[in-house]
A and B are shown apart, each in its own frame.
Chain A
Amino acid sequence: DIQMTQSPSTLSASVGDRVTITCRASQSISNWLAWYQQKPGKAPKLLIYKASSLESGVPSRFSGSRSGAEFTLTISSLQPDDFATYYCQQFESSPWTFGHGTKVEIK
């Protein structure tokens, strides 16, 4: 299975901060990566697909990028609604594995 190493596991930030979350794949996954946001008691919500494509309806402060085997989710200016847990998921090969999540907390 492809292992997805996500960091940090927890991040404390303030409203307006620029936030960066990283996901590294154990082998090449091309651009087959998605990012999700999950709030307590809710299902994950798709934010980014194909590493950098913004899902329809998702605010433009969210962006995704790739540098080799490292993928980054950036929130340009953190908003109150953004405090949540974020997961990456690869789709290079089945089983489609997830990172362990990054919880974004209020500083």
Chain B
Amino acid sequence: QVQLQESGPGLVKPSETLSLTCAVSGGSISSSSFYWGWIRQFPGMGLECLGSIYYTGSIYFNPSLESRVTMSIDTSRNQFSLKLSSVTAADTAVYYCARQRGHSGGWCLDYWGQGLLVTVSS
């Protein structure tokens, strides 16, 4: 059973960089069948995809966030990471990491982490 677990600070100051890591267990992050993604859910419950990364380092970014988002993958540790720079209160959300199937699997997000609430506040 694949499991994902987000980690990182729950409170970030405005203008600083939000840094999160997702540890994957029960499956290899180097599998050619999957991407690894970040999704956030705002307090009003809307969901937004931030981007997805492949084990080769290939990345899909949400264009609205591309200038602020950095994603990386560490196959030796079976984990991937997100950095979001210059945060504001509007970035306050629950951040999820998830496994994304490739083309043959319909691209959907089939396993999710439990989520981590990140609040941007001074």
Residues of A that sit less than 8 Å from B by CB:
1, 31-32, 34, 36, 42-46, 49-50, 53, 55, 85, 87, 89, 91, 94-98, 100-101
Contact = CB atoms under 8 A, between A and B. Distances in A.
A17 B30 CA distance: 44
Contacts of A43: 96, 98, 112-115
17 contacts: A31-B106, A32-B106, A34-B107, A42-B114, A43-B98, A43-B115, A44-B96, A45-B112, A50-B106, A50-B108, A94-B49, A96-B107, A97-B49, A98-B48, A100-B46, A101-B45, A101-B46
Contacts of B45: 85, 100-101
Nearest to A44: B112
B101 A49 contact: yes
Interface of B: 45-49, 60-64, 96, 98, 101, 105-110, 112-115
B109 A32 contact: no
A54 B60 CA distance: 26
A97 B109 CA distance: 12
B64 A95 contact: yes
Contacts of B48: 95, 98
Given A36-B109, A44-B109, A91-B106, 15 more contacts: A32-B107, A34-B106, A34-B109, A42-B114, A44-B112, A46-B108, A46-B110, A55-B110, A89-B108, A96-B49, A97-B49, A98-B47, A100-B45, A100-B46, A101-B46
